[in-house]
Amino acid sequence: MPDYVKQGVSVKTDKDELTSSVLQSLPIGIIVFDKELKIQSSNAYANESLDIQIDADATLSGGTNESIWGSWRTTLLEVINSGKSCLFDNVNYRSSGKSALLQITCVPMIDNSDSSITGGIILFENITEKATIQKQFAQNERLAALGKLASKVAHELNNPIDGVLRYINLAKRNISEQGLSKPVEYLENACDGLKRMIGIITELLEFSRTRHSTLEDTSIDRIIDDAVKFYEPRAAAAGIEIQKRYDSTLPKTKGSNLFQVFCNLLKNAIEAMPDGGKIIISCEVGPDIAAIIFRDTGSGFNPLESDSIFEPFFTTKTGSKGTGLGLAICRDIIEKYGGKITAENAPDGGSIFTVYLPVNK
């Protein structure tokens, strides 16, 4: 503790010692200052969290932006002069390598003998973790609301689109019988657009649907094999080789929805390599976790987007190729199994998606 913080300390009674011990042990920061804003004392939490200066206002202004929070000197003097406390939420503090989100309360210090104000006290709490949790909760709330909206929109659109598609098919048949090729071409284009809309609606429904893993244990290698078989013809047509580098007896895990996850990752990898390439699927098994790794030789992605690609409606695909729901659905499914999914660029090009799953041996 700095020397200027220790000044003014004289002989203490047992009660003083107990009070001091309690204040030093509290998990909140306490800074006591006089009417000239000179710091008289501060507890251990404050000393560890902030860069304590001689003056209370300099201590706060040294790590915060006064253009946002105003002059701390003015604020602290107002507390002393008015006898009223003030509260500041979500104050971003950065100084000398220390960084935190603080909740700061400034209160007047009152002398019990004559009720005069002798200075003030700064109380602060590190709310970084709490703010992160609240942000995640708010995000989950938004996603839940988005899921409900997506479900409603999808159901509302499904029926009219199905009717339009049916009438287009009838028109195509009648026009074909008359040997008119151009109108058929136009209707084919309309059908393609409607089919894409149906695909988007299907993904919206998948995203909004609550998922639960099945009670049946299924070996991971079997689920991967089924997904590979499903996409092998499409990969071969695009000049893409799929290599499987894992044992044929991988651990078991619960849930058939993983088939959709693996299909989505294969689909994305194929679309990332329009000129051909290679997909390598491997698996690393630990005591309780299996890591299933999908690596492609495509162009990779912008590293700045690594945290965004799993968000709903975010897509790196150009034009109208992607809806931005595939990876969001993957993350939703995997997290419901107690696992996680990560994305990174391979050092020699391409991308690596890793699915971490709890397993039963």
Q: What distance in Å separates the CA atoms of residue 143 and residue 301, rounded to the nearest whole number? A: 24
pLDDT of residue 349: 84
Say which CATH architecture domain 3-126 belongs to: 2-Layer Sandwich (3.30)
pLDDT of residue 215: 45
Please list, in sequence order, all residues whose beta carbon lies within 8 angstroms of the beta carbon of residue 185, skipping any fewer than 6 positions away.
Answer: none
pLDDT of residue 136: 64
217-358: which CATH topology? Heat Shock Protein 90 (3.30.565)
pTM for the model stands at 0.45
Q: Secondary structure of the chain in the HEC alphabet?
A: CCHHHHCCCCCCCHHHHHHHHHHHHCCCEEEEEECCCEEEEECHHHHHHCCCCCEHHHHHHCCCCHHHHCCHHHHHHHHHHHCCCEEEEEEEEEECCEEEEEEEEEEEEECCCCCCEEEEEEEEEECHHHHHHHHHHHHHHHHHHHHHHHHHHHHHHHHHHHHHHHHHHHHHHHHHHCCCHHHHHHHHHHHHHHHHHHHHHHHHHHHHCCCCCCCCEEEHHHHHHHHHHHHHHHHHHCCEEEEEECCCCCCEEECCCHHHHHHHHHHHHHHCCCCCEEEEEEEEECCCEEEEEEEECCCCCCHHHCCCCCCCCCCCCCCCCCCCCHHHHHHHHHHHCCCEEEEEECCCCCEEEEEEEECEC
pLDDT of residue 143: 61
pLDDT of residue 56: 94
Q: Cβ(96)–Cβ(51) under 8 Å?
A: yes
Q: Which residues pair with 284 in a beta bridge?
A: 291
pLDDT in tens for each of the 361 residues of the chain? 444 343 333 334 455 676 677 778 788 999 999 999 999 999 999 998 999 999 999 999 999 988 888 899 999 999 999 999 999 988 889 887 778 889 999 999 998 888 899 999 999 999 888 776 766 666 666 666 666 666 666 666 766 777 777 778 878 787 877 877 777 777 777 777 677 666 666 666 655 554 444 445 778 888 898 889 888 988 999 999 999 988 777 887 765 578 888 988 998 899 889 899 999 999 988 877 889 999 999 888 877 666 667 776 556 555 445 555 678 778 888 887 778 888 888 888 889 999 998 876 5
Q: Which residues pair with 33 in a beta bridge?
A: 39, 120
Q: What distance in Å separates the CA atoms of residue 316 and residue 349, rounded to the nearest whole number? A: 16
Which tokens belong to 78?
A: 């107002």
